[in-house]
């Protein structure tokens, strides 16, 4: 009896080894292999928020129940068509700073019960990517909200016109990035519809004989995408580190959508940037 049991276990182990070797032979494309069974649900757990997912086949369906979890199942109309160890497809997961790909294969019934249904996306499976900013969005949000928790009435610079004001409350740096804490205040009864809030480096003094040189700066990230406000609005803008001489200024321009005189330009000398705090 014991001998028969040992033979069964040995055959099972040999089948698993043969299966693994066959899979390696068939799918030798360096992608990590992940097995999925007919009735199970796979969960990929990402170390950061998932920005994008691509599933190469209609045989799989997936969703994001949480911002860092991808849930995969075999489609109901495909489960009966798949054979053991069949190549189901490739799943691509893109986070804030990485991209990872996995080849999914159909598990035979004898492996389904012992195969894990939770997959941690590990650093060895990831390739780094640059999506405009190399700091995780979660970290950017954390630092931005820490600035918004500062309720002091102090500000570094302010510009006001026709009852609308724009003030720079704080400047902070993190690595190669600069955080600008801007507050807009509307003391009129007319809502303000934002046409554009832009950053540029311009000459401090412009004469008729001067060739105007303006360099536009695009924020790599901002906390809110709000485009109108009634009374008060505060937002955090993140720019890549910049330098400019004393004869130039960093201009933050606020323009209203309709024809209006309520357009503001807040001028920031470089000394304000040099005095920025750090997180």
Per mean pLDDT, which range of 8-22, 145-159, 211-225, 260-274 is the poorest?
8-22
Instruction: Measure the CA–CA gap between 72 and 46, rounded to whole angstroms.
Output: 14
Residue 8 lies in a domain: no
CB 42 within 8 A of CB 32: no
pLDDT reported for residue 119: 93
Shared domain for 114 and 150, answered yes or no, is no
Residue 79 lies in a domain: yes
Instruction: Measure the CA–CA gap between 220 and 133, rounded to whole angstroms.
Output: 6
Shared domain for 182 and 199, answered yes or no, is yes
Which structural domain, as residue segments, surrounds residue 50? Answer: 28-128
Residue 3 lies in a domain: no
Summarize pLDDT for 93-148 with one digit per residue, the tens: 998 788 999 999 988 876 666 667 899 999 889 988 765 667 878 889 999 999 99
DSSP annotation of 123 reads G
> Where a domain ends, among 81, 96, 128?
128
Instruction: Measure the CA–CA gap between 183 and 169, rounded to whole angstroms.
Output: 7
Alpha helices by DSSP H, the chain = 2-26, 109-112, 137-148, 270-274
> Where a domain ends, among 128, 147, 182?
128
Which class for 7: exposed (0-12), middle (13-18), buried (19 or more C-beta within 10 A)?
exposed
Residue 214 lies in a domain: yes
Shared domain for 117 and 190, answered yes or no, is no
Residue 12 lies in a domain: no
User: CATH number, domain at 78?
Assistant: 2.60.40
Residue 10 lies in a domain: no
CB 146 within 8 A of CB 140: no
Residue 109 lies in a domain: yes
CB 49 within 8 A of CB 140: no
Shared domain for 211 and 82, answered yes or no, is no
Shared domain for 158 and 265, answered yes or no, is yes
Strands 98-106, 228-229: pairing is: unpaired
Shared domain for 154 and 209, answered yes or no, is yes
Structural domains in the chain (count) = 2
> Where a domain ends, among 93, 128, 163?
128
- The residue that leads in pLDDT, 146 or 247, is 146
Shared domain for 74 and 157, answered yes or no, is no
Instruction: Measure the CA–CA gap between 23 and 16, rounded to whole angstroms.
Output: 10
Contact partners, residue 45, CB within 8 Å, separation at least 6: 68, 69, 118, 119, 120, 121
Shared domain for 83 and 143, answered yes or no, is no
Shared domain for 79 and 51, answered yes or no, is yes
**pTM surpassing 0.75?**
no
Shared domain for 77 and 112, answered yes or no, is yes
Contact partners, residue 182, CB within 8 Å, separation at least 6: 166, 167, 168, 169, 197, 234, 235, 236, 237, 252
Summarize pLDDT for 141-186 with one digit per residue, the tens: 999 999 999 988 899 999 999 999 999 999 999 989 999 999 999 9
Shared domain for 44 and 156, answered yes or no, is no
Residue 1 lies in a domain: no
Shared domain for 222 and 117, answered yes or no, is no
């Amino acid at each position: 009896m014991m001998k028969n049991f040992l033979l069964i276990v040995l055959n099972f182990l040999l089948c698993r080894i043969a299966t693994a070797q066959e899979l390696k032979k068939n799918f030798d494309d360096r992608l990590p292999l992940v097995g999925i069974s007919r009735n199970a649900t796979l969960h990929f757990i990402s170390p950061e928020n998932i920005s994008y997912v691509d599933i190469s086949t209609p045989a799989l369906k997936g969703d994001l129940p949480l911002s860092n979890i991808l849930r995969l199942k075999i489609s109901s109309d495909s489960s009966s068509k798949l054979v053991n160890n069949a190549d189901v497809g490739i799943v691509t997961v893109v986070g804030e700073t990485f991209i990872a790909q996995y080849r999914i294969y159909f598990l035979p019934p004898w492996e389904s019960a012992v195969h894990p249904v939770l997959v941690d996306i590990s650093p060895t499976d990831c390739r780094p990517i640059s999506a405009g900013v190399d700091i995780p969005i979660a970290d950017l949000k954390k630092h931005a909200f820490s600035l918004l928790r500062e309720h002091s009435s102090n500000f570094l610079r302010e510009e006001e016109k026709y009852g609308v004001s724009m003030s720079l409350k704080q400047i902070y740096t993190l690595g190669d990035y600069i955080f600008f804490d801007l507050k807009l205040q509307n003391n009129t009864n007319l809502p303000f519809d934002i046409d554009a809030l832009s950053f540029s480096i311009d000459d401090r003094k412009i004469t008729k004989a001067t060739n105007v040189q303006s360099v536009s700066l695009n924020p790599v990230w901002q906390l809110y995408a709000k485009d109108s406000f009634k009374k008060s609005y505060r937002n955090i803008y993140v720019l890549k580190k910049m330098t400019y001489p004393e004869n130039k200024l960093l201009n933050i321009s606020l323009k209203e959508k309709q024809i209006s005189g309520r357009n503001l330009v807040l001028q920031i000398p470089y000394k304000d940037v040099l005095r920025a705090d750090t997180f």
